[in-house]
Structure 1
């Protein structure tokens, strides 16, 4: 979005959950009854310049347009409406995202694989023999989540938050 910066930032201040002033503009996460909205404001130094919306035309265009419509409602003082369905995670997807983040953090901290699995799935894993562990459904589930957790390592979670990547079971736009 492009605008004068000052007026729109003061209008959005009551809704701001987070703000980051980057070299490419002002990044905001706004609170709304229907869920958070993430926007970037590129400040135009010309006084009186009209606002312009920049929407990336990619495979997420429909979702991006729905988010722009929600943001327009918020600016007008109206309820922005529900999140687009593609941005909502099912309870199972939320739990898997949590497990993958725990696995990624455990691996980063150097915790043993079986200890991470025991913390996530069941303490009984620590009492299994090596062959029982490898034959267990916990082993398969852990390595499936470990593969998904690889996305979060080396900053993948930042790309997910910025809507640039798909991670695990979720799609961010």
Structure 2
């Protein structure tokens, strides 16, 4: 596996080694000791999966506040997504900035998004399945979000992004300027 640092500190794309032959392929998608030494020393406690039927479906931007802040290891099991992390850590030199990567089932690549970031994605093809491990359990009371189209963040969503495919919850998320300080970076 290869860990590729993205422009925002601590957001990492993981590219596995894929062994292909005429039967198909084999890929190791996770190894705890490698992940701990090369990416982040965390423990995953829950795994989630979503199916998006339509191309252009936007999910996010979501995060959980303390004490249930989640780091996420995201991969696309079927189809393809444009995956995004937005830095919500006050005091960070990249506060309010985003980083993204295209994740595909064919490439088996993943994106590590530490706690302190909002996360979202847009499906690039129909029938897309996304799976992600998290470092804290889901908590309804701590489940929060950021407007997917906040002009202050200015995510460069792909052309297929379809606002009509947003959930009711994601249609009313606040802008970055209206979010309280949920995460701080020690100076």
Question: Larger strand proportion, structure 1 or 2?
Answer: 2
Question: TM-score, with normalisation over the residues of structure 2?
Answer: 0.21
Normalised to the residue count of structure 1, the TM-score between the two structures is 0.23
* Structure ranking higher on relative contact order (CA contacts 8 Å, 6+ apart): 2
- Structure showing greater Rg: 1
